[in-house]
Amino acid sequence: MTKLHKLSGKFLGLIIAFGLGATASAQLTINGAGATFPYPIYSKWFDDYTKVDPSVRFNYQSIGSGGGQKQITAQTVDFGASDGPMSDENLAKAPGKIWHIPTVAGADVVTYNLPGSPALKFDADTIAGIFLGQIKKWNDPKIAALNAGVNLPDQEIVVVHRSDGSGTTYIWTDYLSKVSAEWKQKVGTNTSVNWPTGLGGKGNEGVAGQVKQTPGAVGYVELIYAIQNKMPYAEVKNSAGKFVKPSVESITAAMATAQIPDDFRFSITNAPGNDSYPIAGATWLLVYEQQKDAAKGKKLVEFLKWALTKGEDMAKDLDYAPLPPELRDRVLKRVDEIKM
């Protein structure tokens, strides 16, 4: 009888082990890599989607947009993610046609580390001057003129920028190239640039950490990273001459002005309108039109349709702007055209 119990136990153990193994092998893993800018919302989407479809799991590496573009081009991932659209030159290097699927929009904010965390205002000339290394102290007359009544310290400004290829940097440098002829000529727009001054931090997380730890620091991060880290962020003067706080509303206002082409590569920096925040940008998932793995392709398309409908409803809670309904409908039609 004891032997029978032992055998039954072993047999049951084998059934359980086999069952667990079958479940694990049945779960499909879809790999992605890229932008840190949308990582908080993508992470939420990937977690929530396991409840919608338990048979699929997303493994996303938040390595920066430059890395996301490289990995999707090399086909080492099933999708990439970037807040800077891929250039024609980089798209031509890919073994197939890559599509840009816009998901949400966000804001690059000017965040800083000063005693008392005063509320500050900046304009285009001041931001460009700081990041060109020409405005070196916090009590510089140009900063003081915009911030009457604020006790600005006689303290060196420590610029913090990204050290990795970054879509957050693309949005930042795209804005600066539009508002400063000197910046456009000397530095330009890209996911990675030769910085005139400053310290580098890896990812939005790295820049936020450097600014928090460095007295007198100033840097740029996506809005949610400033909010989550309880860091102050400035109002910025827009193209209409209004000082605007970054928010879902001011990002949405900027997005509403966009002329969006058929390939969905567009910029919303320095947007017109009284309510537009000037350093805003969309973020994209990068997918091949022709999927090389039909099973993964089918699951990826199902996820994209969910993200562009149910997922969009989560955007505002994480301080991202959802896509306008008309754009969302256009993007869903494109997703339907992905081939297996």
Quote the pLDDT of residue 27.
86
Say how many domains are in the chain.
2
Q: What is the pTM of this model?
A: 0.88
Domain span at residue 84 reads 2-106+282-336
Task: Give Cα separations from 272 to 53, 139, 214 (angstroms).
Answer: 41, 30, 34
pLDDT digits (tens, 9 = 90+) for 4-44: 444 444 444 444 443 444 344 468 999 999 999 999 999 99
Same-domain status, 177 and 96: no
Same-domain status, 139 and 229: yes
Report d(CA 32, CA 292) in Å as an integer.
15
Same-domain status, 144 and 270: yes
pLDDT for residue 269 is more than 80: yes
Same-domain status, 144 and 276: yes
Same-domain status, 208 and 332: no
pLDDT for residue 301 is more than 80: yes
Same-domain status, 254 and 114: yes
Angle at 184 between CA 226 and CA 158, to 5 degrees: 40
Same-domain status, 128 and 245: yes
Amino acid 315 reads A
Quote the pLDDT of residue 221.
97
For residue 257 the two structure tokens come to 């002005």
Same-domain status, 314 and 267: no
Report d(CA 159, CA 132) in Å as an integer.
10
Report d(CA 219, CA 198) in Å as an integer.
9
For residue 117 the two structure tokens come to 């965390």
Same-domain status, 263 and 286: no
Same-domain status, 264 and 124: yes
Same-domain status, 112 and 131: yes
Quote the pLDDT of residue 26.
66
Same-domain status, 172 and 316: no
pLDDT digits (tens, 9 = 90+) for 165-207: 899 999 999 999 999 999 999 999 999 999 999 999 999 999 9
**CATH number, domain containing residue 77:** 3.40.190.10
